[in-house]
Chains A and B, each alone.
Chain A
Amino acid sequence: MGSIWEYANPVKFSRTATLLLPWVSILAAISLVTGLVWGFFFTPEDFRQGSTVKIIYLHVPSALMAINVWFMMLVTSLIWLIRRHHVSVLAAKAAAPVGVIMTLIALATGAIWGQPMWGTWWVWDPRLTAFLILFLFYLGYIALWEAIDNPDTAADLTSVLCIVGSVFALLSRYAVNFWNQGLHQGASVMRAGAVTGADTQEKVSNIFFYPLLLCIIGFVLLFVALVFLRTRTEIHKRRTKALLARERLG
């Protein structure tokens, strides 16, 4: 096991991805199925929210992933700009559509949850608004990839867009806080003391927390599997193009 940069070699990356893909997929399936079944059928109903509370098992993991996928794209874009590893930027390209779907799931489940709880499908709450803006950033990123023919130019431009976009997405996140007060509760899972702490007022009860944790792990593994698969496909696509070009020359 050498340094992590060995995996910047497309062949090595492909081989490792192929090796790991079935294992990651199986683990993702196991934890997702267990987590969702446990969450949906073997947890009590919330005394105030009834059975609608169970949408938390889709809402929270997808929302977490929506943000973290963008963060992963930021890191891989930086690696591309600094060290020029093609696999890195291809991974960012592969992750973007997954991120869009995660954002959409978070927004849709949020709307479905918000309807019975808040009495409305949509409010211009800071968190909701920030997610909508994040969604627009994903769309812009993907659209820019689609619009440019030359792969290296596209990689450079989308990487810079991702970095500048991250700064503006963060700015927007806190700007909307200032612009409207929200209905959405604060962070109640990924917060120090939220799980084990003494403040029972806002913490997620352990009965709900363990299946939720399993669902989060499942979403992460699912994302890793999808990125492996999609990045490998991108590498194969590039290689096919190169082979075809060589054949045409020869």
Chain B
Amino acid sequence: MIALLVRDLKLSFRAGGGFGLGLAFFLIVTVLVPFGVGPQSELLSRIAPGILWLGALLACLLSLDRILALDWEDGSLDLLATSPLPLEGAVSVKALAHWVTTGLPLTLASPLFALLLSLPPAGYPWLVISLLLGTPALSVIGTFGAALTVGVKRGGLLMSLLVLPLYVPTLIFGAELARRGAEGQATLTPLLMLAGISFGVIALLPFASALVLRVNLR
């Protein structure tokens, strides 16, 4: 399992792996928003949590096809399926690798981007906490979508259509948590809900992902 994780991480860090692309995309989204809605800082600080969450979500979405598509093309997915490691474990490791290369850097960089959108100071810790809790769920749900569409040629658009509705609850509670934190309201309910969604998804969805992957490899 660790060997697989190291391999996936190495592949994404090396040339052509696309590490940092998600981060750059996130930066561009945050830069484009003031052009779209105007530079008034009180408006920006009100919508900052939502924008940052949307940016992180889209950055995750764009890198999803890298999770499985390359391994599907060169056949290493078949090897994984026949290896002694259960496919559920392999899928979880792949989701973890995706999170380490996109979700984690996004979370760590988010205070910097929040600065650009003049997020209120009270919001910073809550933004980081919400992204830290929420982005693993995005990676795991995304792996399920990637597993569903891995056999489809040019399935990127289809995958977005399938994955985005699944992202709705995570986005709602994540953005709500960040927003309430920024406005100094009680944060316990969305925090618990977000944590519940994240842990539930991490515990259960790899089984569904492995199931559809087996169907696709049949």
Residue numbers of A with Cβ under 8 A of B are 133, 136-137, 139-140, 143-144, 147-148, 153, 156-157, 160-161, 163-165, 168-169, 171-172, 175-176, 178-179
Is the Cβ of B168 less than 8 Å from the Cβ of A133?
A: yes
CA–CA, A165 to B53, complex, Å? 22
Residue B32 lies at the interface, judged by CB distance under 8 Å to chain A: no
Q: How far is the CB of A116 from chain B (nearest CB, A)?
A: 30
Cβ 8 A contact of A160, one of B149, B161, B197, B212 = B212
Is the Cβ of A164 less than 8 Å from the Cβ of B166?
A: yes
CA–CA, A20 to B189, complex, Å? 52
Cβ 8 A contact of B169, one of A140, A144, A172 = A172
Cβ 8 A contact of B212, one of A143, A157, A168, A175 = A157
Given contacts A147-B152, A171-B197, contact A160 B211 (CB under 8 A): yes
Is the Cβ of A171 less than 8 Å from the Cβ of B148?
A: no
Given contacts A147-B155, A160-B211, contact A168 B168 (CB under 8 A): yes
Given contacts A147-B149, A161-B148, contact A140 B165 (CB under 8 A): yes
Cβ 8 A contact of A153, one of B144, B166, B169, B215 = B215
Q: Which residue of A lies closest to B144 (CB)?
A: A164
CA–CA, A175 to B167, complex, Å? 11
Is the Cβ of A144 less than 8 Å from the Cβ of B215?
A: no
Q: How far is the CB of A156 from chain B (nearest CB, A)?
A: 4
Within 8 A of A (CB), among B123-160: 144, 148-149, 151-152, 155, 158
Residue of A140, A153, A156 contacting most chain B CB atoms (<10 Å): A140
**Sorted from nearest, which 4 A-B pairs have the closest CB atoms?**
A171-B169, A156-B215, A175-B169, A136-B165
Is the Cβ of A178 less than 8 Å from the Cβ of B193?
A: yes
Cβ 8 A contact of B161, one of A143, A156, A176 = A143
Residue B11 lies at the interface, judged by CB distance under 8 Å to chain A: no
* Residues of the B chain whose Cβ atoms lie less than 8 Å from the Cβ of A169: 165
Is the Cβ of A168 less than 8 Å from the Cβ of B172?
A: no
Residue of B144, B164, B168, B218 contacting most chain A CB atoms (<10 Å): B168
Q: Which residue of B lies closest to A135 (CB)?
A: B165
Given contacts A144-B148, A178-B176, contact A168 B215 (CB under 8 A): no
* Residues of the B chain whose Cβ atoms lie less than 8 Å from the Cβ of A171: 168-169, 197
Cβ 8 A contact of A148, one of B152, B162, B172, B173 = B152
Within 8 A of A (CB), among B165-202: 165-166, 168-169, 172-173, 176, 189-190, 193, 197
Cβ 8 A contact of A175, one of B148, B164, B168 = B168
Is the Cβ of A168 less than 8 Å from the Cβ of B208?
A: no
* Residues of the A chain whose Cβ atoms lie less than 8 Å from the Cβ of B151: 148, 153
Is the Cβ of A178 less than 8 Å from the Cβ of B162?
A: no
Q: How far is the CB of B37 from chain A (nearest CB, A)?
A: 18
| Beyond known contacts A157-B212, A168-B169: 5 more, CB 8 A cutoff | A144-B149, A148-B151, A164-B205, A168-B166, A179-B176
Is the Cβ of B172 less than 8 Å from the Cβ of A140?
A: no
Residue B216 lies at the interface, judged by CB distance under 8 Å to chain A: yes
Given contacts A144-B158, A147-B152, contact A172 B173 (CB under 8 A): no
Cβ 8 A contact of B162, one of A133, A140, A176 = A140
Cβ 8 A contact of A147, one of B158, B176, B193, B215 = B158
